[in-house]
Amino acid sequence: MNIFSYHQASDATSAIALKHAGPAAKYLGGGTNLVDLMRETVEQPETLVDITHLACDIEQRADGSLLIGAAAKNTAVAAHPAVRSNYPLLSRSILAGASAQIRNVATVGGNILQRTRCRYFYDNAARCNKRQPQAGCDALEGFNRYHAILGSSDACVATHPSDMCVALVALDAVVHLQGTAGTRSIPLRDLHRLPGDRPDLETDLQPDELITAIEIPALPFANRSTYRKVRDRASYAFALISVAAALDVNEMGKVRDVRLALGGVAHKPWRALKAEAVLKGQTADTAAFRAAAEAELADAVGLRDNAFKIELAKRTIVAVLDELKGDNA
């Protein structure tokens, strides 16, 4: 049994001070991931700093951007009128994740920082470099149907499990942070790290830093967007492949702008920058969409059980963009 102390923070400053006071302290949001990890003894914090009472407002700004407090519940974000009308891909991505009960307590900040659901990470009897550096990775030769095809390494092939983060990365979301050294902001697509030889270092956060808010910049064509999740079960399953996309087509049928991100493929939410570059200025048709998908997945590497995900990702990208092309007509 792991004995720990519990403190409820009244504001961000007190939360940071409590976290900084103990190196084995953890921030506790909704607890939908951390409590599971504690139950499995993967995480064994000495102190829990409850931050569920911090900023949870969702503010629509005059410039069209959106500021979401890190303690906002996933359900509240998905149901917010500004999200549903201006960023439907975000609402759909949240509703595709977990169950209604979990979404009701899970926070935006916690969703961003949730850890992989790789079965070998959760299994203390398995070798896992993410859980114990230099231990090895049993997923490489084990059951790896759900594992990475992009950006992985010999040290780790785990994927980031979030649906919401895929949509936020497509939307160029910015994460606002506060720590003992002050405040800073970082694009969400730069927050998570690829595994390299240190998969235990999952983000570029400093040890005491706290996510205080997520800002989504105005994107006029984001109202023509969607999120598609391909999974083994119709509900309560993590993505084999997911695609978040927004598409802007001009009156000549050319792609004026596009946002594209993938989930279920990498150690982090994957922004498909190569595909976006290929598409801009091209005729919005199936051939162009396929060429963009081929470019994005050119470096993909499949494992024994997940090589099918490469073609699945390509087809899902094409299907989603074909759907959005119709919305632009």
CATH number at residue 24: 3.30.43.10
Confidence of residue 29 (pLDDT cuts 50, 70, 90): very high
Domain boundary among 9, 36, 54: 54
Neighbour count for residue 130 (Cβ, 10 Å): 24
Check: CB of residue 316 under 8 Å from CB of residue 243. Answer: yes
Confidence of residue 329 (pLDDT cuts 50, 70, 90): low
On whether residue 302 sits in a domain, the answer given is yes
Confidence of residue 326 (pLDDT cuts 50, 70, 90): confident
CATH code of residue 238:
3.30.390.50
Residue matched to tokens 């607890």: 31
On whether residue 259 sits in a domain, the answer given is yes
Mean pLDDT, range 198-210, rounded to an integer: 95
Check: CB of residue 276 under 8 Å from CB of residue 172. Answer: no
On whether residue 200 sits in a domain, the answer given is no
Neighbour count for residue 219 (Cβ, 10 Å): 19
Q: Taking 90 as the threshold, does the pLDDT of residue 236 lie above it?
A: no
Q: Taking 80 as the threshold, does the pLDDT of residue 105 lie above it?
A: yes
On whether residue 183 sits in a domain, the answer given is no
Question: What pTM did the predictor assign?
Answer: 0.97
On whether residue 138 sits in a domain, the answer given is no
Q: Taking 80 as the threshold, does the pLDDT of residue 22 lie above it?
A: no
On whether residue 38 sits in a domain, the answer given is yes
On whether residue 256 sits in a domain, the answer given is yes
**DSSP label of 138:** G
Confidence of residue 1 (pLDDT cuts 50, 70, 90): low
Domain boundary among 31, 54, 77: 54
On whether residue 251 sits in a domain, the answer given is yes
The pLDDT tens digits of the residues spanning 121-179 come to 999 999 999 999 999 999 999 999 999 999 999 999 999 999 999 999 999 999 999 99
Mean pLDDT, range 200-213, rounded to an integer: 96
The secondary element (H helix, E strand) that includes residue 296 is: helix 286-296
What 3-state class would DSSP assign to 318? helix
Q: Mean pLDDT across the chain, nearest whole number?
A: 96
What is the percent of the chain where pLDDT is above 70?
99
pLDDT of residue 234: 87
Check: CB of residue 202 under 8 Å from CB of residue 228. Answer: no
The terminus-to-terminus CA distance of the chain in angstroms comes to: 60
The residue segments making up the domain with residue 284 are: 224-328
Number of domains in the chain: 2
